[in-house]
Amino acid sequence: MFQTPLKPHLLFSIVFLIFSGSILPSLSAEVDYRYANCAINSTCGPSVIKYPFWETKRPNYCGHRGFELDCQGDSLTIDITNQTYNVLNIDYSSYILTISNPAISNSSCPPTLTQLTNSTLDPTLFKLASSSQNATLFYDCSQASNELKAPYNFTCTTGGYFVRPTIIYAFLETEDRWKPRLGGLCKVKVYNPVLSAEVLRLSNKMSSIDGVLSKGFEVKWNVDDQQCDACYSSGGFCGYNYTLNQPICFCKDGASGKNCNDPETQLDQTPSPKNDSRRPIIIGLGVAASVSIILLGILCFLRRRLHKRIQSSPAVLAQNKTFSASSAASDFQVVNNSTYFGVQVLSYRELEEATENFNPLKELGDGGFGTVYHGKLGDGREVAIKRLYEHNNRRAEQFMNEVEILAHIRHKNLVALYGCTHRQSRELLLVYEYIPNGTVADHLHGRRAKQSLLHWATRLSIAIETAGALAYLHSSDIIHRDVKTQNILLDKEFSVKVADFGLSRLFPLDATHVSTAPQGTPGYVDPEYHQCYQLTEKSDVFSFGVVLAELISSKPAVDITRQRQDINLSSMAMNKIQNHALHEFVDPDLGFESDCKLKNQITDVAELAFRCLQSTSDLRPSMEEVLEILQRIQGQGNQVDKADEVDIPSDDAFMLKSDFSPTSPRTDGNFVRQLIPHASV
Output the domain CATH number for residue 584: 1.10.510.10
Residues serving a catalytic function are 482
Binding-site annotation, residues for ATP: 386
The reply to whether 425 and 461 lie within a common domain is no
The reply to whether 631 and 545 lie within a common domain is yes
From the list 46, 41, 147, the residue with the least C-alpha distance to 88 is 46
The reply to whether 421 and 477 lie within a common domain is no
| CATH of residue 360 | 3.30.200.20
The reply to whether 17 and 111 lie within a common domain is no
pLDDT tens for residues 341-379?
778 899 999 999 999 999 988 888 775 567 889 999 988
* Residue 653 is assigned to a structural domain of this protein: yes
DSSP state at residue 272: P
Q: Give the per-residue pLDDT at 637.
A: 66
The reply to whether 175 and 122 lie within a common domain is yes
The reply to whether 521 and 589 lie within a common domain is yes
The reply to whether 372 and 411 lie within a common domain is yes
The reply to whether 475 and 395 lie within a common domain is no
The reply to whether 370 and 507 lie within a common domain is no
The reply to whether 419 and 520 lie within a common domain is no
The reply to whether 299 and 400 lie within a common domain is no
Of 402, 434, 466, the residue that ends a domain is: 434
CB 490, CB 438: distance < 8 Å: yes
* Residue 398 is assigned to a structural domain of this protein: yes
Q: Which residues contact 169 (CB under 8 A, 6 or more apart)?
A: 140, 141, 142, 143, 145, 146, 153, 155, 186
Q: Give the per-residue pLDDT at 306.
A: 56
Secondary structure (DSSP) of 561-612? TS-GGGSBHHHHHHHHHHTT-HHHHS-GGG-TTT-HHHHHHHHHHHHHHHHH
* Residue 485 is assigned to a structural domain of this protein: yes
* Residue 316 is assigned to a structural domain of this protein: no
Measure the CA–CA gap between 580 and 610, rounded to whole angstroms. Answer: 13
* Residue 519 is assigned to a structural domain of this protein: yes
Helices (H), 40-124: 102-105
- Kindly give the parts of the chain with pLDDT less than 50: 1-29, 160-163, 267-279, 308, 310-337, 506-518, 640-681
pTM of model > 0.95:
no
Of 192, 221, 250, the residue that ends a domain is: 221
Q: Is the peptide bond before 52 cis (omega within 30 degrees of 0)?
A: yes
The reply to whether 491 and 629 lie within a common domain is yes
Q: Give the per-residue pLDDT at 370.
A: 78
* Residue 272 is assigned to a structural domain of this protein: no
**How many independent structural domains does the chain possess?**
4
Binding-site annotation, residues: 386
- Structural domain harbouring 190: 102-221
Measure the CA–CA gap between 217 and 196, rounded to whole angstroms. Answer: 9
Helix 623-638 and helix 456-475: axis angle, to 10°?
150
* Residue 322 is assigned to a structural domain of this protein: no
Q: Give the per-residue pLDDT at 643.
A: 40
pLDDT tens for residues 652-675?
333 333 333 333 333 333 333 333
Q: Give the per-residue pLDDT at 159.
A: 53
Q: Which residues contact 385 (CB under 8 A, 6 or more apart)?
A: 351, 354, 355, 372, 373, 374, 375, 429, 430, 431, 432
Strands 68-72 and 496-498 come out as unpaired
Q: Which residues contact 262 (CB under 8 A, 6 or more apart)?
A: 234, 249
* Residue 120 is assigned to a structural domain of this protein: yes
Of 434, 469, 494, the residue that ends a domain is: 434
